[in-house]
């Protein structure tokens, strides 16, 4: 079964630091390889994930796969908070601009 929406789930700790970002599904707004909505989500998630992975103090684990990606921050820091807030902002913008294709859940 193909999911026809991207679901972005952002989990925060008690201090409002993002400690987990999960992205599942596909927008299916265009044929494979031409879907700018999927590409947009992928670019911001991978940029944030790779930036966090380089910072050993954040203890970050990343998994990128088509339709199923995950970034986990084991030790949120001030720097990781700034980096992940960029993803949250981008995801919010995409969910507002393309509500039929992107669903954002923050908890």
Find the angle CA(28)-CA(29)-CA(34) to the nearest 5 degrees.
Answer: 90
pLDDT value at position 3?
58
- Quick check: 92 and 40 in contact, CB under 8 A? no
Closest Cα partner for 29 from 103, 92, 102? 102
Residue 2's pLDDT is 53
Q: What digits encode the pLDDT tens for the residues 32-43?
A: 889 999 999 999
What pLDDT does residue 58 have?
81
Question: Within a 10 A sphere around the Cβ of 97, how many other Cβ atoms?
Answer: 11
Residue-wise pLDDT for 54-69, tens only, equals 988 888 999 999 999 9
pLDDT of residue 47: 96
pTM: predicted TM-score of the whole model, two decimal places: 0.92
Interatomic CA distance for residues 38 and 81, integer angstroms: 24
């Amino acid at each position: 079964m193909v999911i026809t929406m991207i679901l972005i789930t952002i989990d925060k700790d008690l201090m409002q630091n993002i400690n987990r970002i999960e992205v599942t599904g596909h927008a299916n707004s265009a044929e494979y390889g031409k879907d700018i909505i999927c590409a947009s989500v992928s670019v911001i998630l991978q940029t944030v994930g790779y930036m966090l992975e380089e910072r050993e103090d954040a203890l970050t684990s990343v998994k990128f796969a088509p339709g199923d990606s995950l970034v986990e921050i084991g030790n949120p820091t001030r720097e990781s908070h700034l980096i992940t807030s960029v993803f949250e902002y981008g995801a919010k913008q995409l969910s507002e601009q393309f509500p039929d294709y992107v669903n954002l859940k923050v908890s």
